[in-house]
Amino acid sequence: MITIKNLKKSFNGFQVLRGVNLVIPEGKTTFIMGQSGTGKSVLLKHLVGLLSPDEGEIWFENRDLTKLNEKEWQEVRKKIGYLFQEGALFDSMTVGENVAFPLIEHAKLPENEIERKVDELLSAVGLLEAKDKYPSELSGGMRKRAALARTLALHPQVILFDEPTTGLDPILQRSILDLIMEVKNRFNLTCVIISHDVPLALHYADQIAFLHEGVIAQIGSPEEIRNSNHPFVRKFLDSALIDGAKEVSHEG
């Protein structure tokens, strides 16, 4: 679905991405893991044109995205949704207005149709009662769910999630990921999720890619990753799974 080839990106002479190769399969969930500051967010931002690479290619629907102009990017961004690490709601708009925003901007629907869609999306993320609240009145978890509803508004084929669960309690982390999986299955979405959470990744991923020193150090199924012999991946996993704290059960 998306193929990243030899992607390189430097900032102020420091090379963050040193030739990233990654295939993101359609309809699957790919987790991207790695230490803080290794370039996970930088990598994702290339997939929506917020950054352009020094070198390399990103193939989506038979086009190299690195060659697009801004007008062409606007079309692609309807298909590839992006959930910012910070949630990034508009503070001066209510939850309902936030979710309506992309519909008004892009979808050109009649007003009552937009109203109906907003209610449907807010119900899906369990936030209908919070429709008229402002972001400052919401908890962190509610903000993340509101941002998810806004991203879903345009029916993207791919959604990139930058740490959708970081900073939330374990119950909310599970419920956000269950919600993501539910909409993924309903709309046959392709999901890319950046996360530091090893148990969640092992439970929810179809494939896990480790970014380390500017390249994908290892990519594999949760089973392959769990049995990894790669020194960095091993250290990352062992640090997360101390003693009894093994991955969450598959029974859900």
Q: Which residues bind Mg ion (CB under 5 A)?
A: 41
Q: Which residue has the tokens 């494939």?
A: 207
- Candidates 4, 24, 30, 39; binder of ligand ATP (CB under 6 A) is 39
CA distance 235 to 247: 16
Spatial distance between the Cα atoms of 224 and 208, rounded to a whole number of angstroms? 9
Indicate whether 11 belongs to the interface with ligand ATP (CB under 6 A). yes
37 lies in the binding site for ligand ATP (CB under 6 A): yes
Q: Does 41 bind ligand ATP (CB under 6 A)?
A: yes
Locate 218 and state its tokens. 């290892």
Q: How far is the CB of 68 from Mg ion (least distance, A)?
A: 24
- Dist CA 9 CA 14 (whole Å): 8
CB 193 to ligand ATP: min, Å = 13
Q: Which is nearer to ligand ATP, 44 or 149 (CB)?
A: 44
CB of 34 or CB of 96, closer to Mg ion: 34
| 163-191 CB burial, b ≥16 within 10 A, e <16 | bbbeebeeebbbbbbebbeebbeeeebbb
- Cα–Cα distances (Å) from 57 to 19, 46, 252, in that order, read 10, 10, 38
For Mg ion, the closer CB: 41 or 195: 41
Min dist. Cβ of residue 42 to ligand ATP (A): 3
**Of 29, 30, 38, 207, which one interacts with ligand ATP (CB under 6 A)?**
38
Site residues (vs ligand ATP, CB under 6 A): 11, 16, 34, 36-42
